[in-house]
Chains A and B, each alone.
Chain A
Amino acid sequence: MDPNLNIIIAIVLGIIILVFAALAIYHKKLSIAIIAAGAVSLLASIMYLLLAAPDVAMTEAAIGSGLSVIIFFYALSKIRKHHG
């Protein structure tokens, strides 16, 4: 791929990642914050692919945006029940 195009994609990805990260921290609704954190992981895995690290990208996509989101949601449902 053209290196300039690579850099442009990386910059756009970085900005979107920052937006989702801010959403994950500052959003009032916890479920939306969890999904935003998962989206950060998914986009970060694309970034790793651009940086020629497919092994790390696969781990990030499977664990960061798949499993940890589900585990967070399970934990959130337990916490909700505790608060009534």
Chain B
Amino acid sequence: MVKKLLLLVLLAGAGLMFWLGVSDYQVKEELNPIASYYADQGLEETGAANLVTAVVVRYRGLDTLGEVTILFLTASILGFFLIKGNKKETFRDSSEILKTASRLLEPIIILAGVYVFVNGHLTPGGGFQGGAILASALILSYLANPTDGISKTLLKVTESFSGLSFVIIGVLGIVLAGGFLDSTLLPAGSIGNLISAGVIPIIYIFVGLKVGSELAGIVTNLKYAPKNESE
């Protein structure tokens, strides 16, 4: 009884706090100074037609590097804990429908993923989204052919290579241009072209490859994880 009463008091208190925060909320008619700077100058400074990409890769490039690092740590920790899997495990054969459909769909899904991150500076989407689509194609191939998926070594090499290239591009920005991950390392080009916006498309290609191989690596590790440990 006392427990329930305390819970109710807690809920009421939380509700009151939220109400105080929200009650005098007014929709802002204009952007705050930083946002309006991005909206006004972003297109000219970066040459990226998609403003979200301009912010994510150019103005908040260090945060993007941090996100990629967090994902890398997650994948590494999962691999570290699940490494003891017995690889001789027998998998049940998947159905003919799944096999045929995956053979048809895989190239299309991979193409869509690559399109999303190559066009990240022009259309909505980018490295993270394209990488996730790429990883889902690889997972479909795991589901269809449990015994022979893409090799773990290839995933690791792709992941490390793209991560390293991302940092090297960032450091090149310090040496040759205005600062870490400065996108004016390459000429901005004409807005709307595939090859434009400086190094943003190159960085997004590496981010896409890295995210795709990491997410696929997480699922591979889960697949080979030990099953009957306690028995």
Q: Could you list which residues of chain B lie within 8 angstroms of chain A, going by C-beta atoms?
A: 50, 52, 116, 124-126, 128-129, 132-133, 135-136, 139, 215, 218-219, 222-223, 225, 227-231
Contacts and interface: CB of A to CB of B under 8 A. Distances in A.
A55 B126 contact: yes
A67 B230 contact: no
B139 A62 contact: no
Contact of A62 (B52, B129, B222): B129
B52 A75 contact: no
13 contacts: A55-B52, A55-B124, A57-B124, A58-B116, A58-B124, A58-B129, A59-B128, A59-B129, A66-B132, A70-B219, A74-B225, A78-B225, A82-B230
A74 B129 contact: no
Output the residue of A55, A70, A74, A82 with the most chain B CB within 10 A: A55
A66 B136 CA distance: 7
Nearest to A54: B124
A84 interface: yes
B227 A67 contact: no
Interface of A: 54-55, 57-59, 62-63, 66-67, 70-71, 74-75, 78, 81-82, 84
Nearest to A58: B129
A84 B135 contact: no
A44 to B, nearest CB: 15
Nearest to B231: A84
Nearest to A49: B124
B125 A71 contact: no
A67 B126 contact: no
Nearest to B125: A58
Contacts of A63: 132
Output the residue of B124, B126, B229 with the most chain A CB within 10 A: B124
B129 A67 contact: no
A84 B223 CA distance: 18
A7 to B, nearest CB: 15
Given A58-B125, A58-B129, A67 B228 contact: no
Contact of B129 (A55, A70, A75, A81): A55
